[in-house]
Amino acid sequence: MKENWILVGRYVAVIVTSLLLALALGSMDLFQQTPVVRGRLDAADVVRFLGYGGALVVFWLTVQRLTIILAQLGGRWGALTHVVLPLGSLITVSAAYSVLLIVLGPLMGAGAKSIYNWLFIIATLAIAGWLIVAMFNQSSSLTEAIIGKVEKDQGDKPQA
């Protein structure tokens, strides 16, 4: 089990490093002054996209690994298993909107931007629905995980 948490720690280290490199390299004059698509997209945009996108992919892989770890732990933590993946997916898709927009935004016209927005609205709402259904289906397990401990603790205390 310890190996799983070490792997999650590695994922977090990769996420942080990727974000910091994207931020640092994307702010360098060399990258900002080197065009990829003349007048629309520069190398700094591509570097930020790769760094933030990479961090987002690793974040989603971390969420998947966390789901497996929680299932293995079972008990109180196991109740979160069915909620972690939809929640992580919601965060990932919400962040992916801005990350993809870094490189696609300068290349899209108004019509394409409207379609892009609606695709992300539909995806976000679908995943939010998945999260709500997962929480509803697991509400008894989640409640038991939270309240069951309280009732057990109260049962251990002597009555006045």
* Torsion angle of the four alpha carbons 32, 38, 43, 45, in this order, in degrees rounded to the nearest 10: 80
Cα 37 from Cα 106, distance rounded (Å): 9
The pLDDT assigned to 118 comes to 97
State how far the alpha carbon of 135 is from the alpha carbons of 89, 131, 143, in Å: 14, 6, 10
- Residue pointed to by tokens 């679908």: 126
Q: What is the DSSP string of 22-47?
A: HHHHHTSHHHHTSEEETTTEEHHHHH
Helix (H, G, I), strand (E, B) or coil at 2: helix
Q: What is the DSSP string of 55-118?
A: HHHHHHHHHHHHHHHHHHH-HHHHTTHHHHHHHHHHHHHHHHHHHHHHHHGGG--HHHHHHHHH
Cα 16 from Cα 37, distance rounded (Å): 29
What averages of pLDDT result for each successive group of 10 residues across the chain (160 residues)? Answer: 81 95 94 87 94 96 90 78 92 96 92 96 96 81 59 53
The pLDDT assigned to 141 comes to 62
Q: Is 127 exposed, middle or buried (0-12, 13-18, 19+ CB in 10 A)?
A: buried
The structure tokens listed for 75 are 């008990």
The pLDDT assigned to 1 comes to 66
Is the dihedral angle over the CA atoms 29, 48, 116, 97 positive or is it negative?
negative
The pLDDT assigned to 144 comes to 63
The pLDDT assigned to 137 comes to 80
**pLDDT tens by residue, 22-50:** 999 999 999 999 988 887 899 999 999 99
**What is the domain partition of the chain in residue ranges?**
2-142
